[in-house]
Amino acid sequence: MAKGIKGFRGEILSVSRDPHRHPDAVRYEPDGLLIVEDGLIVARGDYASLAPSYPGIPIDHLPGLVVPGFIDAHVHYAQMDHIASHGEQLLDWLDRHIFPAEKAFADRAHAASLANLFLDELLRNGTTSALVFPTVHAHSVDALFDAALDRNMRILSGKILMDLGPDGLADMPESGRDESEALIRRWRGRGRLGYAVTPRFALTSSDAQLQVAGALLADHPDILLHTHLAENLRECAAVADRFPTARDYLDVYDRFGLVGARSVFAHGVHLSDHACTRLAESGAGIAVCPSSNLFLGSGFFNFGQADAHGVRIGLGTDVGAGTSFSLLHTAGLAYQAALSRDYPLDPFRALYLATAGSATLLHIDDRVGGLEPGQEADFVLLDCAATPLLARRTAKATLAERLFALQILGDDRAIARTYIMGQCAWNRQGTAS
């Protein structure tokens, strides 16, 4: 028997390609087996046909629905304690609640404490990977990456660039560049981490800093670009005012070399058809954040428009504008946002968006998101009877009905266990092993 090899037996479901374009993308074994060796999936199939090839290995029985670990394509760790801040749309909410919260991250110990709490909260919600906004402080990235390394999580982040930010949060083009370069050098190749050049949004960076961001991307072809795009109408008007010759908001980023296959734009609620065409042809993607869009009164993402142009999409919580860390709950809100434009989102597609769809945006889809052999064994055990109502609603339901009920009625309560590379990292019953 090979060292470190183990089986996981249960009901297994994954969707590694977008079912909107690949209707046969759903992979499902009602009684399945995952074979995991040293954290990697080496085989997957029906228990009855696969088990005889692995005689004598230890097998854990997983009582529930096993899906890939959720992947949050856009979230702010520094905003965790300011979730549910009342009263304003985006620009005023930033000024009143968020910028003061981020200033507190000048204190390294505060950053370290929040980074640990944040990653524990992700695991409690079944989220195993994320693309994360920290703060402008370089040590906020160190704190997050240190905590991710401790938990062996696949996390991507990068220091915020915001030289036009308020006092106490503004960097400079040169310091932003130098600190980003130092972070890339310090963290490249460590654990399961990845770097993203992170200008906050067009309004908080000078032209010189947007140019720096473009140069960093050009110099480091393995890193991502992560920013906000066309979230709120007043934001869009301010961008149009500042960049009167730009064709649209996306074009502002395009002029600085920030639109490419490794670019992840959060929101995209107010996009022109031209911007969608450009997103699709460049391979850039949108992290759709329906909970945040509802909370800040930003509007509803136009799934039909994005699909008509073939724009890549994934799912993000955008906590602290988002109101939940749960990508199950966020998938349920994505359904409601899509339906507001009479465009129902299939529950298997919603699962795709929260797993392999986000993984594709983050360029980690070769490693995670599909529970395919060769990938890392990050997965979640879902409890379809997590609440009395869920139990009643799913008792005689089909797989699609159960999955939809989990998305509409479920949240962190439905996460029975979260596994990182085959190790239990969160157990609702109290003992992670």
Note the residues at the interface with ligand GUN (CB under 6 A): 76, 90, 94, 98, 200-201, 228, 231, 292, 318, 321
Nearest to 90 by CA among 202, 220, 254: 202
Distance of closest approach, residue 75 Cβ to ligand GUN, in angstroms: 10
Distance of closest approach, residue 362 Cβ to ligand GUN, in angstroms: 18
Selection from ligand GUN, Zn ion, none that 231 binds (CB < 5 to 8 A by kind) is ligand GUN
- Give Cβ neighbours of residue 349 (< 8 Å, ≥ 6 apart): 15, 18, 19, 20
Selection from ligand GUN, Zn ion, none that 201 binds (CB < 5 to 8 A by kind) is ligand GUN
Q: Which is nearer to ligand GUN, 265 or 303 (CB)?
A: 265
Distance of closest approach, residue 133 Cβ to Zn ion, in angstroms: 6
Q: Cα(264)–Cα(196) distance, rounded to whole angstroms? A: 9
Selection from Zn ion, ligand GUN, none that 365 binds (CB < 5 to 8 A by kind) is none
Q: Which is nearer to Zn ion, 198 or 302 (CB)?
A: 198
Q: Which is nearer to ligand GUN, 292 or 330 (CB)?
A: 292
Q: Which is nearer to ligand GUN, 10 or 158 (CB)?
A: 158
Distance of closest approach, residue 331 Cβ to Zn ion, in angstroms: 18
Q: Helix (H, G, I), strand (E, B), or coil: what is residue 153?
A: coil
Selection from Zn ion, ligand GUN, none that 200 binds (CB < 5 to 8 A by kind) is ligand GUN
At residue 144, what is the residue type? L
Q: Which is nearer to ligand GUN, 318 or 411 (CB)?
A: 318
Q: Cα(374)–Cα(213) distance, rounded to whole angstroms? A: 34
Distance of closest approach, residue 201 Cβ to ligand GUN, in angstroms: 4
Which stretch, 160-168, 261-269, 363-371, 381-389, contacts Zn ion (CB under 5 A)? 261-269
Give the C-alpha distances (Å, rounded to integers) separating 185 from 143, 195, 397: 16, 10, 51
Sole residue written with tokens 């304003």: 88
Nearest to 401 by CA among 363, 347, 357, 356: 347
Selection from ligand GUN, Zn ion, none that 98 binds (CB < 5 to 8 A by kind) is ligand GUN
Q: Which residues inside 262-281 make contact with Zn ion, applying CB under 5 A?
A: 266
Distance of closest approach, residue 239 Cβ to ligand GUN, in angstroms: 11
Q: Check binding of 254 to Zn ion (CB under 5 A).
A: no
Q: Cα(353)–Cα(219) distance, rounded to whole angstroms? A: 30
Pull the structure tokens for residue 355: 């797993």
Selection from Zn ion, ligand GUN, none that 90 binds (CB < 5 to 8 A by kind) is ligand GUN
Selection from ligand GUN, Zn ion, none that 263 binds (CB < 5 to 8 A by kind) is none
What 214-222 contacts at long range (C-beta under 8 Å, 24+ apart), as own/partner pairs, is 214/256, 214/257, 214/258, 215/177, 215/257, 216/177, 216/180, 216/181, 216/184, 217/257, 217/258, 217/260, 217/262, 218/257, 220/184, 220/195, 221/262, 222/188, 222/194
Distance of closest approach, residue 342 Cβ to ligand GUN, in angstroms: 26
The size of the interface with Zn ion (CB under 5 A), counted in residues, is: 2
Q: Cα(201)–Cα(247) distance, rounded to whole angstroms? A: 17
Q: Which is nearer to ligand GUN, 154 or 228 (CB)?
A: 228
Q: Which is nearer to ligand GUN, 286 or 321 (CB)?
A: 321
Q: Cα(155)–Cα(71) distance, rounded to whole angstroms? A: 9
Distance of closest approach, residue 318 Cβ to ligand GUN, in angstroms: 5
Distance of closest approach, residue 82 Cβ to Zn ion, in angstroms: 13
Give the C-alpha distances (Å, rounded to integers) separating 232 from 96, 171, 172, 316: 17, 24, 26, 16
Q: Which is nearer to ligand GUN, 194 or 268 (CB)?
A: 268
Q: Cα(406)–Cα(387) distance, rounded to whole angstroms? A: 10
Q: Which is nearer to ligand GUN, 102 or 346 (CB)?
A: 102
Q: Where would I find the H helices in 257-318? A: 273-282, 290-295, 303-309
Q: Which is nearer to ligand GUN, 143 or 294 (CB)?
A: 294
Q: Cα(36)–Cα(306) distance, rounded to whole angstroms? A: 37
Q: Which residue's beta carbon is nearest to the bound Zn ion?
A: 318
Distance of closest approach, residue 79 Cβ to Zn ion, in angstroms: 8
Q: Cα(248)–Cα(240) distance, rounded to whole angstroms? A: 7
Burial class, 374, CB count within 10 angstroms (exposed 0-12 / middle 13-18 / buried 19+): exposed
Q: Check binding of 72 to Zn ion (CB under 5 A).
A: no
In the β-sheet with 415-420, what is the strand arrangement from edge to edge?
40-46, 26-37, 5-15, 59-68, 379-382, 415-420, 423-427
- For Zn ion, which residue of 235, 318, 376, 412 counts as binding (CB under 5 A)? 318
- 176 phi and psi angles, rounded to 5 deg: -60, -40
Q: Which residues bind Zn ion (CB under 5 A)?
A: 266, 318
